[in-house]
Structure 1
Amino acid sequence: MKAIASVPNRVVSAIRRSFRQFLALPLATVIGFVGLSALVYLADGSWSGDRAPHGFAWLGALMGDRAALGSLLATVASSIVTVTSITFSLLLLAVQQGAGALTAQVTDQFMARRTNQLYFGYFVGLSVFVLTTLVTNTDYHRPVFAAALSLLLTALALCLIIVMIYNTIDQMRPEQIIQFIHDKVLEARGTDLDVLAATRRTTRRDWADRALVRSRESGYVVGLDLARVETALERHGDVEVEVLIALGTYRAVGDPVFRLRCGPGVVLDAEAQERIAEETLAAFAYDDGRDLQTSTAYGLHQLATIAWTSVSTSKSNPNPGLTVIQALRDIIAQWSRGEIEIRGDDGARIVYGDAAPVIATDALEAVIVVASESIQSQTLTEAVATLAILLRHVEAPTAGRLADVAHRALSSLGEHVLTRQLEAALHDLASALEERGFGSVAEEVARASAALAGSLGKLNSRSTRVPGTTS
Structure 2
Amino acid sequence: MKAITSIPVRFVSAIKRSFRQFLSLPLATVIGFAGLSVLVYLADRSWSGGEAPHGFRWLGELMGDRAALGSLLATVASSIVTVTSITFSLLLLAVQQGAAALTAQVTDQFMARKVNQFYFGYFVGLSVFVLMTLVTNTDYHRPVFAAALSLLLTALALCLIIVMIYNTIDQMRPEQIIQFIHGKVLGARDEDLTLLAATRRERRRGWSDVALVRSCESGYVVGLDLARIERAVERHARGDVEIEILITLGTYRAVHDPMFQVRARPGLSLSEEARTGLIDAALAAFTYDDGRDLQNNTAYGLHQLSTIAWTSVSTSKSNPNPGLAVIQALRDIISQWSRGEVEIRDASASCIVYDDAAPVIATDALEAVIVVASESIQSQTLTEAVRTLAILLHHVEAPTAERLADVAHRALSSLGEHVLTRQLDVALRDLTEALRERGFATVADAVGEASADLAASLGKLNSRSTRVPGTTS
How far apart, in 2, do the equivalents of 1:146 and 1:39 lie?
9
Equivalent residue letter for 2:201 = R
Number of the residue aligned with 1:86: 86
What are the Cα deviations for residues 34-78 of structure 1, in whole angstroms up to 9, with x where unaligned? 000000000000001111101000000000000000000000000
Superimposed CA distance per residue, residues 283-308 of structure 1 (whole angstroms, 9 cap, x where no aligned partner): 10000000001100000000000000
Match of 1:429 in 2: 431
Deviation at 1:12, TM superposition (A): 2.1
Q: Counterpart of 2:365 in 1: which secondary structure?
A: helix
Please state how far the C-alpha of 1:354 moved relative to its aligned partner: 0.3
Query: Residue type matched to 2:462 in 1?
Result: N
Q: Report the counterpart of residue 394 of structure 2 in structure 1.
A: 392
Aligned residue in 2 for 1:116: 116
SS where residue 52 of structure 2 aligns?
coil
How far off is 1:274 after superposition? 1.9
2:291 aligns with 289
Match of 1:171 in 2: 171
Deviation at 1:268, TM superposition (A): 1.3
Alignment match of 1:453 (pick from 449, 452, 455): 455
Measured in 2, the distance between the counterparts of 1:430 and 1:182 equals 29
Give % identity.
Answer: 81
Aligned mate of 1:334, from 333, 336, 340: 336
C-alpha distance in structure 2 between counterparts of 1:285 and 1:14, whole Å: 12
**Mean alpha-carbon deviation: is it higher for 111-120 or for 10-19?**
10-19
Q: What's the CA shift for 1:8?
A: 3.0
Report the Cα distance in structure 2 between the residues aligned to 1:291 and 1:416, rounded to whole angstroms.
38
Match of 1:226 in 2: 226
Distance in 2 (CA, whole Å) between partners of 1:264 and 1:370 is 48
Q: Which residue of the partner structure matches residue 271 of structure 1?
A: 273
Q: How many residues align?
A: 470
Aligned pair 1:438/2:401, yes or no?
A: no
Match of 1:102 in 2: 102
For 1:101, the aligned partner's letter is A
Alignment of 1:410-429 (within 5 A): 410-429=412-431
Partner in structure 2 of residue 302 of structure 1 = 304
Query: CA–CA distance in 2 between the matches of 1:41 and 1:103?
Result: 47
CA distance in 2, matches of 1:442, 1:382: 18
Q: Distance in 1 between matches of 2:229 and 2:69?
A: 63
SS at match of 2:468: coil
Distance 2:74 2:119 in 1: 22
Q: Structure 1 counterpart of 2:58, which letter?
A: W
| Deviation string, structure 1 residues 352-406 (Cα, Å, up to 9, x no partner) | 0000000000000000000000000000000000000000000000000000000
Q: How far apart are the structure 2 equivalents of 1:339 and 1:75?
A: 62
Aligned to 1:372: 374
Which residue is equivalent to 1:155?
155
Q: For 2:261 and 2:387, locate their aligned partners in 1 and report how far apart those are by CA, in whole Å.
A: 40
Distance 1:98 1:55 in 2: 53
What's the secondary structure of 1:458's corresponding residue?
coil
Q: 1:139 — aligned with what?
A: 139
Partners of 1:261 and 1:142 in 2: how far apart? Answer: 74
Q: Distance in 1 between matches of 2:72 and 2:83?
A: 16
Q: How does 1:6-25 map to 2 (within 5 A)?
A: 6-25=6-25
What 5-or-longer segments of structure 2 have no aligned partner?
none
Residue 207 of structure 1 and its aligned partner are, at CA, apart by 1.2
Large movers: runs of 4+ above 3 Å: none
Letter in 2 for 1:135: V
If the length of structure 2 is used for normalisation, what is the TM-score?
A: 0.99
Partner of 1:239: 241
1:122-149 Cα offsets, whole Å, 9 max, x none, are 0000000000000000000000000000
1:186 aligned onto 2:186: yes
* Cα shift readout 1:56-110 (whole Å, capped 9, x = no counterpart): 0000000000000000000000000000000000000000000000000000000
Looking at structure 2, the residues matched to 203 and 22 of structure 1 have their Cα atoms a distance apart, in angstroms, of 39
Query: What is the identity, as a one-letter code, of the residue corresponding to 1:356?
Result: A
What is the letter of the counterpart of residue 460 of structure 2? K
Give the letter aligned to residue 74 of structure 1.
Answer: A
